[in-house]
Amino acid sequence: MSTFLLVHGAWHSGRCWDRVAPLLESAGHQVFAPSLTGYGDKAHLLGPEVGLDTHVDDIAELIEREDLTDVVLVGHSYAGLVISSVANRVPDRIAHLVYLDAMVPEDGETAIDVMPISQRLIDQAGDGWRIPPFPEQAPPLGLFGVTDPADIAWLRTMLSDQPVRCLQQPVRLDNPATDAIARTHIHCVGTRPAGIVRRPVPPTQPNGSPARVWELPTGHDCMITMPAELSELLLKVEH
């Protein structure tokens, strides 16, 4: 049995994994899919003080509270920053990092460094500390790559504003033990909005092994649009 810890991205909640978690569990694995502070069942905690460090605390504290080991830590989108800092804090508990269409930072970088369009979103923040979700666009872009009307309606029920502080706080990757953790990158290669540019994955992982990059032919929220295919890839992760 493996332990999968699924971390949602900006604006979403842990419910976005509702179609994936049962598939991993049915294969005999333990699954955690928490909502980060400010989202889902923690939406009432949304405030200007919530930042990347808050979300790193959320996940690191869950790992320690549940005494989880050999964790396959999956981060979607913004959560690539979260899982990187979590691995830096508790590397001995992480077996594998999965960057799911995610930001992949270097030490000291913010979301703005990894994806400069983040600064434009911050500049447009209405009250200065939070950013509303992207608006729905015409297919094939839809809402975070989701185009089915029923799926869009469901997705809307889990979206919250994103605190600006999450995009401004830097990732900490100063623990050499983090480099030993294997990584897998899963890219959603459907149509992307203008301004969203993915960094190329270096050919060699920090642990010295060849990079592993898999693709899904769908939009950004693949856990909603292709949950079975995503689950199959996650079950292939070596740990």
For 82, the 3-state DSSP assignment is helix
Total residue length of the chain: 239
- What span, in angstroms and rounded, lies between the C-alpha atoms of 157 and 178? 36
- What span, in angstroms and rounded, lies between the C-alpha atoms of 198 and 211? 16
The contacts found for 196-203 with CB under 8 angstroms, 24 or more apart, are 196/115, 196/117, 197/115, 197/117, 198/101, 199/104, 199/114, 201/104
Element (H, E) at 228: helix 227-236
The active-site residue out of 2, 13, 77, 84 is: 77
Contacts of 208 (CB under 8 A, 6+ apart): none
35 assigned to active site: no
- What span, in angstroms and rounded, lies between the C-alpha atoms of 174 and 151? 40
Q: Output the six-digit token pair for 128.
A: 């200065």
- What span, in angstroms and rounded, lies between the C-alpha atoms of 55 and 46? 12
The single-letter code of the amino acid at 206 is P
């029923």: which residue's tokens? 150
Active site residues: 77
